[in-house]
Amino acid sequence: MSKGSSQERALHMFDSTLRDGAQAEGISFSVPDKLKIVEALDDMGIQYIEAGNPGSNPKELDFFAEAAGLELKNSILTGFGSTRRRNIPVEEDKNVQSLLKASTPAVAIFGKSWDFHVTEVLQASLDENLNMIRDTLGFFKERGKEVIFDAEHFYDGYKHNPEYALATLSAAVEGGAGVLCLCDTNGGAFPDEIYEVTALVKKQFAGNPHIEIGIHCHNDGGMAVANTMMAVDAGATHVQGTLNGLGERCGNANLCTIIPNLQLKKGFQCIFPDQLQKLTQIAGYASEIANVKLNERDPYVGKSAFAHKGGMHIDGVSKASKSFEHVDPAEVGNERRFLMSEVSGRSNILSRIQSVVPSVKKDSPETEGIIQRLKELEHMGYQFESAESSFKLLVHKHLGKYQPFFKLGYFKILGEQPRSEKASSTAMIKLAVDNREEITAADGEGPVHALDKALRKALEIFYPELKKVHLTDYKVRVLDTKSATASKVRVLIESTDGDDSWTTVGVSPDIIEASWIALVDSIEHKLLKDMEKKMRVFM
């Protein structure tokens, strides 16, 4: 694509999170979940929202009934379904009728473009498949629907039998399709193949100004985004994908990567500019609804997308951000992070120390002591790049600015096997706050859960604000597998109070002790944060 041509062609973004994304392993959207995602996509300015296949199950019909009451400002709700079955009149096909009942302004109809699928999977004749495409699209076109044809397995079909693959597109046009979306359904095509075939199709239908060429890629070869970009370069103007790349097998083309690529690098406006600045937030919101963790290494929106660890990288970014960042993280609503590590450079460690205690000097004994302690702890297995709250407590402790919020007397863990229906462990704990002792116990699903509940139960008497705190993630990594069950483990705990999130770390050969260290740091981080906030108010 020549420079400037992005200004000559408009792109239409088509989101399939609610249909293709829902086919990912471990993903199940409820009707309220789907409605929330529809509203978020509409706010973004996504042109088409593929909302599901109403003929697949009753839940989909319930969703379309609810969605009919939505007042979408920017998006066109789109139903999804297949061509009619072989040797059945289109008016009598149950799935076609279900799609009609969904009452969406647009429909996306998929049909076979690979002759192998026609004869071996559908067990239909090649001519009958063309009739199925033509009849189904004509049925919806005659009823005033905007019709999109998803040419399933198009790139594989073109490699095997180019004449027939193109014939399926012609049949779709005859039926009234406004969009011919070319699908790399198996996800195995290479970017050069995608470009070549897409450009050929674009040329084939160049004489019809009402026909738009689309692209739909899967990520089985790890190239869904690259293939999508190449299709756009070749002339595709209708772009399909899902939020965070959710989808069957290895996923679909990730719109959270494609949109900033096209909008920031190619000059297209895919979504509203103010929404691009919320893209990281939107990606996190979608992950939360899907109940999956956002990939930390996703481009643009991942937690690590603008995280710098190497000393030379940190120094370069501090002097000129473009030295190691291809875009400003603020353009996609993300933020730059300098990771705390023994390889991150003295200047970075100093800046992180000063973010905790600004008065610390570069060459002071305190600075040298903290750096040495950091190296000792990382040698033991601690990892502060993902647990900056534990690092902050480390600085306070080393500088003598730390006062413990409670003192542990003891804790005991009791396990029960076979487990009961409600719990498998009990934790008993004795602690003191300002010489006031408290002894309590709690049951839990495992020893760490029981210990966490007992600790909070005891401390909430003294610190009611801890009632807002709960764990959101718990990770354990074995650091020395050669020691088998005596191996040292590292525990990372992520916590939130509803306003902020933080991560703390503990290391020990005893998984309970490692978890305890991280739990205590989590509690003390919250209490220290609240205390500092109160001090700022009164200053």
Instruction: Please give the share of the chain, as a percent, with pLDDT higher than 70.
Output: 91
pLDDT at 51 over 80: yes
Residues 58 and 177 in one domain: yes
pLDDT of 482 reads: 62
Alpha helices (runs of H) in 154-299, residue ranges in sequence order: 154-160, 162-175, 191-204, 224-233, 255-260, 273-276, 279-290
Lowest mean pLDDT among 53-62, 102-111, 163-172: 53-62
Contact 81, 137 (CB under 8 A): no
Tokens of 203: 């040329």
**Mean pLDDT within 99-127:** 96
Q: Are residues 113 and 260 in the same domain?
A: yes
The answer to whether residue 484 scores a pLDDT higher than 80 is: no
Answer yes or no: do 15 and 103 share one domain: yes
Q: 149 with 132: CB under 8 angstroms? A: no
467 part of a folded domain: no
Task: Taking residues 180-199, report their average pLDDT.
Answer: 98
Whether the pTM exceeds 0.85: the reply is: no
pLDDT at 162: 98
Res 506 pLDDT > 80: yes
CA distance 466 to 461: 9
Mean pLDDT, residues 277-305 taken together: 91
Helix (H) or strand (E) holding 398: helix 388-398
Average pLDDT over every residue of 511-535: 88
Provide the pLDDT for residue 44: 96
Helix axes 388-398, 346-356, angle to 10 degrees: 80
pLDDT band (50, 70, 90) for residue 202? very high
* 236 bridge partner residues: none
Q: What is the pLDDT of residue 341?
A: 56
Confirm whether 75 is domain-assigned: yes
> Which residue range forms the structural domain that includes residue 151?
9-271
CA-based angle 84:54:101, to the nearest 5?
Answer: 80
Together in a domain, 333 and 449: no
Mean pLDDT of 324-336: 91
To which H or E segment does residue 504 belong?
strand 501-508
What is the DSSP secondary structure assignment for residue 400, as one 8-state letter? Answer: T
pLDDT tens-place string over residues 419-464: 766 778 899 999 999 989 999 999 988 899 999 999 999 999 999 9
| Total length of the chain | 539
Q: How far apart are CA 91 and CA 176, in angstroms?
A: 17
Give the Cα separation of 286 and 27 in Å (integer). Answer: 12
Residue 248 scores a pLDDT above 90: yes
3-state helix, strand, coil in the chain (%, to 5): 45, 20, 35
List the structure tokens of 492. 């990372």
CA dist., res. 247 & res. 219, Å (int): 9
Q: Which of 446, 462, 478 is the last residue of a domain?
A: 462
In a domain, 100, yes or no: yes
Q: CB-hemisphere CA count at 13 Å for 352?
A: 27
pLDDT tens-place string over residues 404-423:
899 999 999 998 777 766 77
Average pLDDT in the 147-170 region?
Answer: 98
The pLDDT of residue 186? 97
What pLDDT, on a 0 to 100 scale, did the predictor assign at position 174?
Answer: 98
Shared domain check, 334 and 447: no
* Residue 331 DSSP one-character state: G
Please indicate, yes or no, whether residues 425 and 370 belong to a single structural domain of this protein.
no
One domain, residues 99 and 51: yes
Secondary structure letter of residue 122 according to DSSP = I
Whether residues 392 and 429 fall in one domain: no
* Residue 515 within a domain: no
Rounded distance, CA 450 to CA 422, Å? 12
Higher-confidence residue of 478 and 178: namely 178
Last residue within a domain, chosen from 245, 271, 297: 271
Residue 429 falls inside a structural domain:
yes
> Would you place residue 346 in the very low, low, confident or very high pLDDT band (cuts 50, 70, 90)?
low
pLDDT value, residue 41: 97
Q: Hey, which residues does 106 pair with through a beta bridge?
A: 78, 146
Give the pLDDT confidence of 260-283 residue by residue, as tens digits.
999 999 999 999 999 999 999 999
Q: How far apart are CA 513 and CA 320, in angstroms?
A: 43
3-state secondary structure of 436: strand
**214 and 178 in a common domain:** yes
CB 128 within 8 A of CB 157: no
47 occurs within a structural domain: yes
In a domain, 430, yes or no: yes
Which structure tokens are listed for 402?
A: 């730390």
pLDDT of residue 223 exceeding 80: yes
What mean pLDDT, rounded, does the chain reach? 88
**Strands 337-338 and 48-52, how do they pair?**
unpaired
Q: Residue 253 above 50 pLDDT?
A: yes
Residues 370 and 442 in one domain: no
Residue 539 clears pLDDT 80, i.e. is over it: no
Question: Is residue 248 included in any domain, yes or no?
Answer: yes
Pairing of strands 489-496, 501-508: antiparallel
Residue type, 202: K
Query: Which CATH number is 29's domain given?
Result: 3.20.20.70
- In this prediction, residues 86-114 reach a mean pLDDT of 95
The per-residue pLDDT for 72 is: 94
Task: Evaluate if residue 471 carries a pLDDT over 80.
Answer: yes
What pLDDT shows up at residue 189? 97
CA 150 to chain centre: 25
**Could you give the number of structural domains in the chain?**
3
Give the domain-ending residue among 369, 398, 427: 398
- Tokens in use for 452? 């966490």
Q: Which of 63-72, 330-339, 382-391 has the highest mean pLDDT?
A: 63-72
Is 198 found in the same domain as 149? yes
* Euclidean distance between CA atoms 233 and 241, whole angstroms: 17
Is the pLDDT score of 142 beyond 80? yes
Q: Cα dist. 93→59, 139, 346 in Å?
A: 20, 11, 70
pLDDT at 486: 66
Residues 69 and 185 placed together within one structural domain of the fold: yes
Q: Which pLDDT score is estimated for 59?
A: 78
- Give the number of other Cβ atoms within 10 Å of residue 345's Cβ: 20
Tell me the mean pLDDT in the region 149-177: 98
